[in-house]
Structure 1
Amino acid sequence: MRILLLGGTEFAGRAVAEAALARGWEVTVFHRGRHAPPAGARALRGDRTAPGGLAALADGEWDVVVDTWSAAPSAVRDAAALLADRAGAYVYVSSCSVYAWPPAAGYAEDAPLADGSPDAGQTDYARDKRGGELAAVAAFGDDRSLLVRSGLILGPHENIGRLPWWLSRIARGGPVLAPGPRSLPLQYVDVRDLAEWILDAAAGGLSGPYNLASPQGHTTMGELLDTCVRVTGAAAELRWTEPEVVLGAGIEPWTQLPIWVPPGSEGHDALHGIGVSKALGAGLRCRGVAETVGDTWEWLRSIGGTAPQRPDRPSVGLDPVVEAKVLGGR
């Protein structure tokens, strides 16, 4: 298989490129040159947001294109239109954020969708991703476009900082504000499982939308943080704190305490209540939380303990002063 990655040097795109190389596929990475592509990939340079920025893609043919773009949908429109006659299929890595808010717990691919336009400039994440989906379908049609609506993505090379923040915080040791309940079910997809499923789906000619995340309740908040303590070997004490106390302190779920969203909230249904039976039926396999956390910690240590941060995403994590104040009042 000949695969073209639009991106392919950081997190999800990199995982797809590395998985394709491991299969012996011919991999081309189109990127801006800010990060080195995986060894063995052919690199093309360009900036899809600049005039003439797609010039490096003027020639060439591929079996599949994988696009992880998350800003202006017009960038997906332009790339997909350019490649429509020279690529077999277009895989757009979208997001479960494309569903109209708030989605009902267990929502499937036929749930109502947010508005979006393939011709729009950058607006907000949900509309940008939906616009990107529409752009892919407009160029490649329903039968040659695959829309991968991912949930929370974790694993090595994460450049958002969610799991790396928890690992770094727990590695510092001491009392740690652990948002409860311990039994809170979590749902995510390891970036490597996402990548393998994308390649299998592309090779198998799948098309249409698929929600991509682990089964509901794949792990819990307790298991995730206990695993962080174990793999780091830190002298950390998890102080489990009721959601009401956390919220009462003005702490923002998901951003200040990454991954965590209080039970019973619209946010928890949207982020950890995704219906994924379609993807599971199409071969999605999800590794255990111990492997995801352990490998992320090994990668984090290998780069000096500081995770890269995407400049277009806000930083995550809780101020130590706020954490100490909440813990001190218990």
Structure 2
Amino acid sequence: MRLLILGGTEFAGRAYVEEGLARGWDVSVLNRGTHAAPGGVTALRGDRRAAGGLAAIERGTWDVVVDTWSWAPVAVRDAARALAGRAGRYVYVSTRSVYAFPAEAGADESAPLVEGSPDGADDGAYATIKRGAEIAAVDAFGDRALLVRAGLVLGPYENIGRLPWWLRRIARGGPVLAPGPRDLGLQYIDARDMAGWSLDAAVAGLGGPYNVVSPPGFTTMRELLETCVEITGSDAELRWTDPERILRAGVEPWQDLPIWLPPGEMHGMMHQADVSKALAAGLKCRPVAETVADTWAWLRSIGGVPPQRPDRPQVGLDPEVEASLL
């Protein structure tokens, strides 16, 4: 199998590269070269934002193309059009944010969507941009386009900082503000499980949208944070705190306390999606302990400081705010 990944050097793209190589596929990556390409791939150079930036893929054929683009939909439009006659399937890594806000708890792929345009620019909202890119992929590939609507994505190479922040904070030890309720259910996907399922689905000829995330309640805040304590070998003491007290202090869920959303509308949208369609199509999720352990091992291997996407704000709670709440 010949696999082309548009990107391929960071987080989700890197997971697709490693999955393709593990299968013995012929893997090529197209990117600007600002990060070194992983070993074992054919490195193609091109800036999708620039005139002539797709020249490196104007020749050649591929069985599967994976696109993780998160900016102007025109880049997906142009790439998909250029490849439509020379590639079998187009996997676009999208997001569950394309559902109109607020998506109800238990919503499946038939939920209402935001508006989007394949000709859109960078100045739109994230959800609008991703929806426009979905439309661009489908316009070019039809039912050969697989729309991977991911939720919270975790795992090694994470460049958003959510799980790395918790690991680093807990590794420092001492009292740690733990947002309750303890048994609040979490729904996420390890990037490696997303990659494995996506490539299987592409080979099987699947197309259209899929919510690709673990079942609701796959883990809990208690299990996640206690696992972080165990994996890091820390002496951290988790001090569970009521959501109301945290919110009264002006703490922002998801941003100041990554991953966590208090019970309510946002939690229902992010952590209670219907994923029965993907599960029926073979989605399997590894245990949370494996995701945490592998992310910690990766963090330690790079000196403990994770990369940071320049277009995303740094996450994490101000130490003074945490101390005050504690």
Instruction: Say yes or no: TM over 0.5.
Output: yes
1:326 matches 2:325 = yes
Alignment partners' CA distance in 2, 1:62 and 1:50: 23
Query: How far does the alpha carbon of each residue in 1:30-88 deviate from its partner, in whole angstroms, 9 at most, with x for none?
Result: 01112122211101011101121111111111011100001111110011111111111
Alignment partners' CA distance in 2, 1:296 and 1:48: 30
Partner of 1:154: 154
SS of 1:254's equivalent in the other structure is coil
Q: Aligned ranges for residues 181-192 of structure 1 at < 5 Å?
A: 181-192=181-192
Amino acid at match of 1:99: Y
SS of 1:192's equivalent in the other structure is helix
SS of 1:132's equivalent in the other structure is helix
Calculate percent identity across the aligned residue pairs: 70
1:224 matches 2:228 = no
Partner of 1:294: 293
Alignment partners' CA distance in 1, 2:71 and 2:125: 8
Amino acid at match of 2:223: E
Alignment partners' CA distance in 2, 1:245 and 1:51: 52
Partner of 1:283: 282
Shift of 1:204: 0.6
SS of 1:308's equivalent in the other structure is coil
Query: How far does the alpha carbon of each residue in 1:239-288 deviate from its partner, in whole angstroms, 9 at most, with x for none?
Result: 1000000000000000100000001x221011101110000000000011
1:212 matches 2:227 = no
Q: Aligned ranges for residues 107-186 of structure 1 at < 5 Å?
A: 107-122=107-122, 123-141=124-142, 143-186=143-186
Shift of 1:318: 0.5
1:201 matches 2:201 = yes
Amino acid at match of 2:248: G
Amino acid at match of 1:321: E
Alignment partners' CA distance in 2, 1:32 and 1:252: 35
Shift of 1:155: 0.4
Shift of 1:296: 0.4
Shift of 1:20: 0.6
Partner of 1:313: 312
* Structure 2: runs of 5+ lacking an equivalent: none
Shift of 1:107: 0.6
Partner of 1:106: 106
Alignment partners' CA distance in 1, 2:306 and 2:260: 19
Alignment partners' CA distance in 1, 2:314 and 2:126: 16
Shift of 1:187: 0.4
Partner of 1:88: 88
Amino acid at match of 1:126: A
Alignment partners' CA distance in 1, 2:170 and 2:34: 30
Q: Aligned ranges for residues 244-259 of structure 1 at < 5 Å?
A: 244-259=244-259
> Contact 1:154 / 1:190 at 8 angstroms: preserved in 2?
yes
* Structure 1: runs of 5+ lacking an equivalent: none
Partner of 1:16: 16
Alignment partners' CA distance in 1, 2:84 and 2:199: 19
SS of 2:289's equivalent in the other structure is helix
> Contact 1:14 / 1:37 at 8 angstroms: preserved in 2?
no
SS of 2:146's equivalent in the other structure is strand
Shift of 1:212: 0.3
Shift of 1:215: 0.6
Aligned residues: CA RMSD: 0.6
Amino acid at match of 1:131: G
Partner of 1:5: 5
Alignment partners' CA distance in 2, 1:60 and 1:274: 39
> Contact 1:106 / 1:275 at 8 angstroms: preserved in 2?
yes
Alignment partners' CA distance in 2, 1:56 and 1:42: 11
Q: How many residues align?
A: 325
Alignment partners' CA distance in 2, 1:266 and 1:115: 21
